Amino acid sequence: MRPIVVTFNTGTEPVTGSRRRRPNFFRRRPLDFLASLPAHGDLVKIKLGPVPFYALCAPDLVHQVLLDDRTFDKGGAIFELVRIVGGNGLATCPHADHRRQRRLLQPAFHRDRLPAYARVMSSEITAMLQNWTEGQKLDVLVTVNELTAGLATRTLFAADLDDATFAELRLCMHDVMTGMIRRMLLPWPLLNRLPTPGNRRFDQARRRLRQYVAQLTADYRHSGVDHGDLLSILLAVRDENGQGLTDAEIHDQVFTFYLGGSETTAPLLSGSLYLLGRNPDIRERLHNEVDTVLAGRIAEYDDLPYLDLTRRVLMETLRLYPPGWLFTRVTTKDVELAGHRLPAGSNVVYSPHIVQHRADLFPDPECYDPDRWHDDRPRLPRGVFTPFGSGARKCIGEVFALTEATLALASIVARWQLDPLPGAHARLAPRLSSTPRSLPMSLRERVSVLV
């Protein structure tokens, strides 16, 4: 399957009305391209190479599609790509398998589990900040990626992994992710089968990862100990017939959670740090909040209710730079959408980026304004703000991710002021998630301000 994300000449064509082509706009500036679509209509047909996709540009259509996951099932190029590695995990499985999987996995994200996850998060954040020094120049993108990837690994496998195993697991995950992203960007799928060093590394990492997860699963099963981590839960869950997950299913879920846990929270955090650096007035207000709540210490689970501006900063980043930027669905039967008949097998695209940049829904949409998210503001209509999706396929890790991002952001700004250096720019690189391209920033210690 050819990747749809960057490659093809793309024009836009309103479903009704005249053709208007804009060659290569999608390839050059995919996010701007998406944000431009609502000007053409509520449902816009885009041609990616020979394949037509129907892009949802109106909130009620987004809501209709996400709520009807039987008719608009998971499918399309992005899911096929993730399936290469993630198999039939929760994020990629078809509707037919979804309800069982979701029921089995929901306990892993129950609110009762969060304080334990938050302890792991606070301790990983502490370890990261211990390495920061006054005046240091940091690529925030790299640092934050390491934090979220490490954290995803630790929450998945809390058992006492020795450092070498932990590092090896991280490396496998990293190689698999890099290989996947390369595949996504390659215009010629055949190249994926050639024995190039990159392809060999990808295949080896996939094999090693499978072996590691199988070994860990066997160890956990043998010991019978609940380590309070995700793998322990995956082993413990049973359906109504008393059936648990098979080893293959466990592998797929481990990868799915790792992908969900690392590839999305990192852009949210790095995007927030960048935007705060560009908006010193908001940053100062945030400093005041964390000084009052934390007085320079690392944030913990019980601090969350008091970190209101931190929460709003993250919400506004999710609006402006939603990490998940493109999702596809395939219609399982003929269906009517916005008054148009889509035959079975049609490709539908939704992107939070499209609706969340509409000026009629978010006045001055390019302005970074966390005050849009005050609790007393009227509730947004459904389908307007969907950085975590909606309906039955809504992100299972939403609260987990927001907990992690809040703890990390508050702890970082409690101690450090980060300023963008030349080369830091907001132009997002849409990969698996959309993320700044590079983010060099300088560190200035703040704790002394407090004493």
Helix ranges (DSSP H) in 9-160: 25-28, 30-36, 59-67, 77-86, 95-105, 114-130, 140-156
To the nearest whole angstrom, how small is the minimum distance from the Cβ of residue 433 to ligand HEM?
7
Q: Name which position in 63, 393, 415, 431 contacts ligand HEM (CB under 6 A).
A: 393
Determine the Cα–Cα distance for residues 79 and 428; give it in Å rounded to an integer.
21
Beta partners for residue 428, in sequence order: 436
To the nearest whole angstrom, how small is the minimum distance from the Cβ of residue 16 to ligand HEM?
27
To the nearest whole angstrom, how small is the minimum distance from the Cβ of residue 56 to ligand HEM?
12
Positions in 83-102 near ligand HEM (CB under 6 A)? 90-91, 102
Half-sphere exposure of 136 (CA within 13 A, CB side): 13
Pick from 420, 432, 437, 445: which is nearest to 82 by CA? 432
**Whether 61 contacts 42, CB under 8 Å:** yes
- Indicate the angle between helix axes 265-278 and 280-293, nearest 10 degrees: 110
To the nearest whole angstrom, how small is the minimum distance from the Cβ of residue 329 to ligand HEM?
8
To the nearest whole angstrom, how small is the minimum distance from the Cβ of residue 409 to ligand HEM?
12
- The yes or no reply on residue 257 touching ligand HEM (CB under 6 A) is yes
Q: Name which position in 353, 400, 418, 439 contacts ligand HEM (CB under 6 A).
A: 400
- The yes or no reply on residue 75 touching ligand HEM (CB under 6 A) is no
Pick from 402, 310, 409, 394: which is nearest to 352 by CA? 394
Give whichever of 73 and 175 is closer to ligand HEM, judged by the CB atom: 73
Positions in 91-150 near ligand HEM (CB under 6 A)? 91, 102
- The yes or no reply on residue 297 touching ligand HEM (CB under 6 A) is no
**Whether 266 contacts 148, CB under 8 Å:** yes
- The yes or no reply on residue 354 touching ligand HEM (CB under 6 A) is no
Give whichever of 30 and 323 is closer to ligand HEM, judged by the CB atom: 323
- The yes or no reply on residue 153 touching ligand HEM (CB under 6 A) is no
To the nearest whole angstrom, how small is the minimum distance from the Cβ of residue 173 to ligand HEM?
13
To the nearest whole angstrom, how small is the minimum distance from the Cβ of residue 9 to ligand HEM?
26
Give whichever of 264 and 417 is closer to ligand HEM, judged by the CB atom: 264
Please check if 367 is assigned to a binding site.
no
Dihedral sign for Cα 360, 365, 367, 372, please. positive
Q: Name which position in 77, 396, 407, 418 contacts ligand HEM (CB under 6 A).
A: 396
**Whether 56 contacts 329, CB under 8 Å:** no
Q: Is 51 left (phi over 0), alpha (psi -120 to 50) or beta?
A: beta
To the nearest whole angstrom, how small is the minimum distance from the Cβ of residue 260 to ligand HEM?
3
To the nearest whole angstrom, how small is the minimum distance from the Cβ of residue 266 to ligand HEM?
9
- The yes or no reply on residue 270 touching ligand HEM (CB under 6 A) is no
Determine how many CB atoms are found less than 10 A away from the CB of residue 423.
11
Applying CB under 6 A, the span of 42-50, 214-222, 263-271, 338-346 interacting with ligand HEM comes to 263-271
Site string for ligand HEM, 12-51 (x = CB under 6 A): ----------------------------------------
- The yes or no reply on residue 342 touching ligand HEM (CB under 6 A) is no
Using only the alpha carbons of the chain, give its radius of gyration. Answer: 22
- The yes or no reply on residue 237 touching ligand HEM (CB under 6 A) is no
Residue 308's alpha-carbon distances to 31, 130, 285, 303, in angstroms, are 29, 26, 11, 10
The number of residues in the chain equals 451
Positions in 300-329 near ligand HEM (CB under 6 A)? 323-324, 327
Pick from 5, 33, 31, 30: which is nearest to 20 by CA? 33
140-172 in b/e form (b: 16+ CB < 10 A) is bbebbbbbbbbbbbbbbbbeebeeeeeeebbeb
Give whichever of 90 and 205 is closer to ligand HEM, judged by the CB atom: 90
Q: Which residues bind ligand HEM (CB under 6 A)?
A: 90-91, 102, 256-257, 260-261, 264-265, 268, 323-324, 327, 387-389, 393, 395-397, 400-401
Residues of each annotated binding site: 395
The annotated binding site for heme is made up of: 395
